[in-house]
Chains A and B, each alone.
Chain A
């Protein structure tokens, strides 16, 4: 089992995924669970996910819901909508990365925990509603580890 946080802590709430894996690492996780700081992801994610039995991704996700809303997506909810024809090197969006992994058949079973950001401007630290979402987010991830 692998938990990968994605995001950029220099961009405010975009750092929620990184904050989550840092907190998990600090608190400790059960044997056999790997914690990875995936940075801003991109195509490197493919190689980071390779060979894992299950992967939990944690990231800020724009869904138009109130800031701090936690979303759990798995299975077909994660099917990329777009025919991924554009592949950006630095910001290889998650849908493109997942589409490529799927095409290659290297994708392990995935769960994505997404948190709706409040602000993704340049600053260190999370906004109040997103910081408040961190404890319930960690609890949800720990539940998932028991499954």
Chain B
């Protein structure tokens, strides 16, 4: 007996473009995403501060650690709680584990097929088996960082308001360190693979926004910076970033100082190139990525450079934690009321959470801005600039280049292989 099992789709969303082939312009561009903030406040209102982080961790299966960590920071800011150096280091290690998880998945499973000219990872299982098993090895290592520090491979359970409810054992961290070092050959092979990929040429300067580098490469911080001189407290993000509705999309777009702006790996590298780990800087140089790169396709290269950075820095973070010795800390029991906001560099860019708590420590109001929502306007501006430069190419190739551009941002929309629905109208429509 055979039964068809239709699995429930976890994410809705699609992208739809209409191109006027005659005029060489983008007539219609709809990038639809699921906007978690729409239900964010509704699901949190009335919840006690202890329960907030575990709930928001479920907003995104890929970024559960980022949502958890930024949520805890926002609650700590609201209720006036300071955290220790040990907590800060372990949180950074956990966040790096998640960045590795997300980036490795994107570069190997989404980008590699594009550059090797196959429809998905499936054909590569047979033709490039070592590549696929390497990808899964790296992915497992990233999962295990999150497991050691966060208590679970996804949806962490140990991070809590004020620190950690349980600490990783020194033995677990030593094992992790050994495996991070053993993964270096896999990393070298990855860099070698990508060095051979022809990254499409396209230049469009924009505003690059990220958190400022504080005690290291941008991660958790209280200052927002941009490539055109913006410098503002992250807690005031609502005065810096304006989200506005656009007629052709259900998603709201965002603008900052000038208009559309970019968040994510390339924006971080642009703003904090000098804070990359030595190995990551070397790889960036070898792959042609600098603090002045204005090709959005290079988001992919920036992602790979961040993989190198997170792995190398992960080793140092473990050394620092072990050197100082792990000390259990007592969890604080703050009370409300209070208001606070925080921001984190999630894999796809800057993520903001803001909460207002009442006197009993329960949520009165909550707000959240996710990276993909911030990138939509910039993706569209890129597509508008890109289309006229592609018209000499066959339509199939045009579609592929546009898909690759959207994929370079790794947006949180359903990114199946046929990500874009592209329609050509007018003219003979390419060759």
Contacts and interface: CB of A to CB of B under 8 A. Distances in A.
Interface of A: 7-10, 14, 36-44, 46-48, 50, 59-63, 71, 73, 76-79, 81, 84-91, 93-95, 99-100, 103-104, 106, 112, 114, 117, 120, 122-124
A37 B55 contact: no
A7 B126 CA distance: 30
27 contacts: A8-B10, A14-B10, A39-B61, A41-B10, A42-B10, A42-B61, A42-B62, A43-B105, A44-B154, A48-B153, A50-B140, A60-B8, A63-B3, A77-B3, A81-B2, A85-B120, A86-B416, A86-B418, A89-B62, A89-B410, A94-B5, A94-B7, A95-B7, A100-B125, A117-B8, A120-B8, A122-B43
Contact of A95 (B5, B39, B120): B5
A49 B105 CA distance: 17
Contacts of A78: 5
Contacts of A117: 8
Nearest to A64: B6
B109 A77 contact: no
B415 A77 contact: no
A88 B416 contact: yes
A7 to B, nearest CB: 8
B61 A62 contact: no
Interface residues of B, number: 49
A38 B154 contact: yes
Contact of A93 (B9, B120, B132): B9
Contact of B152 (A10, A37, A42): A37
Interface of B: 1-11, 39, 42-43, 55, 58-62, 64, 101, 105-106, 109-110, 119-122, 125-126, 132-133, 136, 139-140, 143, 152-155, 410, 412, 414-418
Contacts of B414: 88, 90-91
A1 to B, nearest CB: 18
Given A8-B10, A91-B10, 4 more contacts: A39-B64, A63-B5, A86-B418, A89-B110
A100 B125 CA distance: 8
A10 to B, nearest CB: 5
Contacts, number: 143
A99 B4 CA distance: 15
- 6 interchain residue pairs of minimum CB distance: A40-B61, A86-B416, A91-B10, A39-B154, A103-B125, A93-B7
Contacts of B2: 76-77, 79, 81
Nearest to B34: A90
Contacts of A14: 8, 10
Given A86-B120, A86-B417, A91-B414, A103 B3 contact: no
A73 B3 contact: yes
A43 B139 contact: yes
Given A94-B5, A95-B7, A48 B416 contact: no
Max chain B CB contacts within 10 Å: which of A46, A59, A93? A93
A103 B415 contact: no
A66 to B, nearest CB: 15
Contacts of A63: 3-6
A14 B11 CA distance: 12
A85 B8 contact: no
Contacts of A87: 109, 120-122, 416-417
A123 B110 CA distance: 31
A61 B143 CA distance: 26
A94 B1 CA distance: 19
Contacts of B417: 85-87
A120 to B, nearest CB: 6
B126 A8 contact: no
Contacts of A112: 5
A10 B59 contact: yes
Contacts of A94: 5, 7
A8 B126 CA distance: 33
Nearest to B62: A90
Contact of B132 (A59, A60, A104, A123): A104
A81 B139 CA distance: 27
B3 to A, nearest CB: 6
A2 to B, nearest CB: 12
Nearest to B47: A124
Contacts of A47: 136, 139-140, 143, 153
A44 B143 contact: yes
